[in-house]
Amino acid sequence: MLHLIKALPKRHKILAGGVAALLGLLLFLPSEDAEATRAHDGLQVGQRYPLAVAVQPQASQPLAAPEWQWQGQTVKSGDSLAKLFDRAGVSARVLHELLQDLGKAGRPLTELRPGEKLEFAKAEDGSLAALRYSPSRTEQLLVNKGDKGFSLESREIPVEHHEQFATNTISSNFWNAGVDAGLSPNIIDGIADILGYDIDFALELRRGDSFAVLYDQDYIDGDFIGDGKIQAVTFVNQGQLFQAVRHSDGNYYTPQGKSLRKAFLRSPVNYKYISSSFNPHRLHPVTGKVRPHNGIDYAAKVGTPVYASGDGRVMKSAYSSLNGNYVFIKHGEKFVTKYLHLSKRLVKAGQAVHQGQLIGKVGATGRVTGPHLHYEFLVGGVHRNPRTVKLPEAQPVPAAELAAFKAHAQELLARLGTQQRIMVAMK
Ligand SMILES: [Zn+2]
């Protein structure tokens, strides 16, 4: 659930990729002749055509000889670069030379994983002319043998982003509503990650809640390669509207530029494991009565992961007959969170923990009738409802970028609203 926190977004590389792609074109065009023929397909004499035929740049040096035959070698477990080269019929001496010539730049070649493919091209005399490798779907490395030995060029493969829209109203649970709307697990989890600081997806969703999302689907050369980033999402939870828009720094903010990230996650367990999402009058698992008590109970199977809701230091990790296995975490001077009835404790007193870190597993230890996590949130020693407490927030959009961000957010949310109205009208 918590990849959002850890995964710092990669910069968009499209612009930089443009130059590389141009280079790549020079590198990878099958041949000038083939291209020219294709461009003239279907032309008829005596008719005017727009000058859409690309001007072929004069390649001053042969970057990639068209007659190269690529021969692939798939990395098997236990393989070494030497073994791969050997299978491709290239000597260890050439490999040594190649690695020496490339220096640091050749590093990706030494970090191949099983299943990946290395492609070899040989010159007419059978010597190694080039080597090709894709560290990811969007990147290709080409090693060339030139007058000055081997050199490496990296090509960014341009990714096209196609905007997608989805919306739904929740009738059974969020996961099903997402699947029904055609969303992939990544996007469903992404929405819960982005809004998981404000909404307790485990306990506070209600029938009739709704969401709408704009997200990217990524294509390379017209082929769908997967879902991209969520660009904007709105969520109505118990009548309250939450909105999040992605900024160019990869983080999500409200349309006003305030960070969605907060010092505490709303739920210390992933909503997907929670059995009683829609019971607004949860019975206390011990007394069997509806009664306010100092904590929030998450009914889940024994072994369900429990996460630290915020950065902090473990105050206690122990066992008592009432609490069972329990962990208390202190967050700065003001805040304490408590996690009770665990089957397993995975942290020790004094240990620093970060938000989203696995600290234990749900259990049924102590005074309980069934497995659940009892979670408490204390401010200045007093039990509080984390939903209504004002919590420290992460940095907002920098002042210099705020006006541009707000305009962008408005545009996205307007588009999202329009789409939503169209969908509603179609129903
Ligand atoms: Zn409880």
CATH numbers and ranges of domains, the chain = 13-33+65-156 (3.10.450.350), 159-260+396-427 (3.10.450.350), 263-392 (2.70.70.10)
Q: How far is CA 256 from the centre of its chain?
A: 24
User: 126 vs 122, 123, 133, 142, 152, CA distance in Å?
Assistant: 5, 5, 20, 18, 20
Question: How confident is the model at residue 412, as a pLDDT?
Answer: 96
Give the Å distance between the CA of 309 and the centre of ligand 1.
17
User: 334 vs 330, 377, 378, 381, CA distance in Å?
Assistant: 8, 11, 8, 8
Nearest CA-CA partner of 263 in 337, 360, 316, 359: 337
Question: How confident is the model at residue 276, as a pLDDT?
Answer: 53
Q: Report the helix count and the strand count for the chain, using DSSP H and E.
A: 9, 19
Give 242's pLDDT tier (boundaries 50, 70, 90).
very high
Give the Å distance between the CA of 352 and the centre of ligand 1.
25
> Using one digit for the tens of pLDDT, what is the confidence trace for 364-406?
999 998 999 999 999 999 988 877 888 888 899 999 999 999 9
Question: How confident is the model at residue 194, as a pLDDT?
Answer: 96
Give the Å distance between the CA of 35 and the centre of ligand 1.
70
Cα-Cα end-to-end distance for the chain: 32
Question: How confident is the model at residue 8, as a pLDDT?
Answer: 34
Kindly state the average pLDDT of the residues 53-59.
Answer: 33
pTM of the model: 0.69
Give the Å distance between the CA of 384 and the centre of ligand 1.
14
Give the Å distance between the CA of 316 and the centre of ligand 1.
18
Q: How far is CA 140 from the centre of its chain?
A: 21
Amino acid present at 304:
T
Question: How confident is the model at residue 58, as a pLDDT?
Answer: 34
User: In the chain, helix, strand, coil percent, each to 5?
Assistant: 25, 30, 45
pLDDT at 130 over 80: yes
> Using one digit for the tens of pLDDT, what is the confidence trace for 328-366?
999 999 999 999 999 999 999 999 999 999 999 999 999
Give the Å distance between the CA of 297 and the centre of ligand 1.
5
- As a whole-number percent, the residues of the chain with pLDDT over 70 amount to 80
Question: Across all residues in the chain, what is the average pLDDT?
Answer: 82
SS (H, E, C) 338-393: EEEEEEEECCCCCCEECCCCEEEEEECCCCCCCCEEEEEEEECCEECCCCCCCCCE
Give the Å distance between the CA of 284 and the centre of ligand 1.
6
Give the Å distance between the CA of 391 and the centre of ligand 1.
23
> Using one digit for the tens of pLDDT, what is the confidence trace for 254-292?
999 999 999 999 999 998 888 654 444 454 545 554 445
Give the Å distance between the CA of 374 and the centre of ligand 1.
4
- As a whole-number percent, the residues of the chain with pLDDT over 90 amount to 58
Question: How confident is the model at residue 32, as a pLDDT?
Answer: 36
> How many Cβ atoms are within 10 Å of 137's Cβ, its own excluded?
13
| Contact in structure between 225 and 136 (CB atoms under 8 Å) | no
Give the Å distance between the CA of 344 and the centre of ligand 1.
18
pLDDT at 238 over 50: yes
Which of 30-34, 147-151, 184-188 is predicted with the least confidence, judged by mean pLDDT? 30-34
Parallel, antiparallel or unpaired: strands 240-246 and 252-253? antiparallel
Residue 219, both tokens: 């294509």
Question: How confident is the model at residue 249, as a pLDDT?
Answer: 95
Residue 77, both tokens: 């477990």
Give the Å distance between the CA of 364 and the centre of ligand 1.
11
Nearest CA-CA partner of 402 in 267, 245, 261: 245
Give the Å distance between the CA of 139 and the centre of ligand 1.
51
Question: How confident is the model at residue 64, as a pLDDT?
Answer: 52
> Using one digit for the tens of pLDDT, what is the confidence trace for 71-103?
999 999 888 889 999 999 999 999 999 999 999
